[in-house]
Structure 1
Amino acid sequence: MRFDLPTHLRLRQGMPTVDLVVDAAPAAAWEVLTDLDAWPEWGPTVVGATLDGPGSLALGARGTVRTAVGIALPFEISEFVDGRSWAWRVGGVSATRHEVFPHDHGCVVSFGVPLWAPAYLGVMAIALGRVARMSARRDA
């Protein structure tokens, strides 16, 4: 089982991005990334999240994310390609993008941050390791 450090820093779709090869099926990683109950387990700055209504993560879905500093902020899913990627606006501001790509060794999970927040890539690198571990457990 691989739990490497992020393998690439790059600019993808106008966002500084960090990637990690994950030893799990793309579907397992996607499940982790879209399971709101799992967000606090992999997201260092998230302690909870809920959708405003029934259903699952989808384009236009709205909800509330509770941050590690105790602030609850509204969010809206601004991009969504099922099984592949999602991005959101938090508090009305463009935030992170989350992507999954098939790879010979499982998948690549990629997190992008806005141009004004490159320091947040360190937080995303921590999250990638957590996503890798959670994805491997779900894929077992």
Structure 2
Amino acid sequence: MDFGFRRGMPTVELLSDAAPEAVWDVITDLETWPKWGPTVSGAELDEGGAMHLGSQGRVFTPVGVALPFTVTEFRPGRCWAWKVAGVGATRHEVIAENGGSRIVFGVPWWATAYLPVCAIALPRIAGLAFARRTR
């Protein structure tokens, strides 16, 4: 696992053996978010269906608070970012590398203290993605 800086954001990244497509499926499937996100107990899109640019919904915290979100960047198979409660939040990126994928989470500079939480999520995502590939 590496900490760094990409696209103007502090980042944490993990190189995984999982296929990029499988990683993308995990990070865009709202039903899996509680399995990898330590601060997420659930999530839903207002309109249902698949996530896309402009998608809106709610993310639920472990203490039961529902926060509205909007997807502000979406490049299929590559990256997505969002605002939560109107505030810029994490950016999620998948990069094909060495027959696997590099999973990169970026945070706004003022949220650098959130990177350890993201670091917990990355190996969980890799494990879920690898399991999907081997089903």
> What TM-score, normalized to structure 1?
0.93
- Given residue 57 of structure 1, which amino acid in structure 2 is its aligned partner? M
Deviation at 1:16, TM superposition (A): 0.4
Q: What is the aligned partner in structure 1 of residue 111 from structure 2?
A: 117
Instruction: State the Cα distance separating 1:118 from its structure 2 match.
Output: 0.6
1:68 aligns to 2:66 (yes or no): no
Is residue 93 from structure 1 mapped to residue 95 from structure 2 by the alignment?
Answer: no
Query: Which residue type is aligned with residue 134 of structure 1?
Result: L
**Deviation string, structure 1 residues 98-135 (Cα, Å, up to 9, x no partner):** 00000114010000111101111000000001001101
Deviation at 1:9, TM superposition (A): 1.2
Amino acid at match of 2:31: D
Alignment of 1:1-140 (within 5 A): 6=1, 8-140=2-134
Show structure 2 runs of 5+ residues with no match: none
Query: Structure 1 stretches of 5 or more lacking a match?
Result: 1-5
Query: After the TM superposition, which segments of 4 or more aligned residues of structure 1 sit over 6 Å from their partners?
Result: none
TM-score normalized with structure 2 length: 0.97
Q: Distance in 2 between matches of 1:129 and 1:15?
A: 20
Q: Secondary structure at the match of 2:115?
A: helix
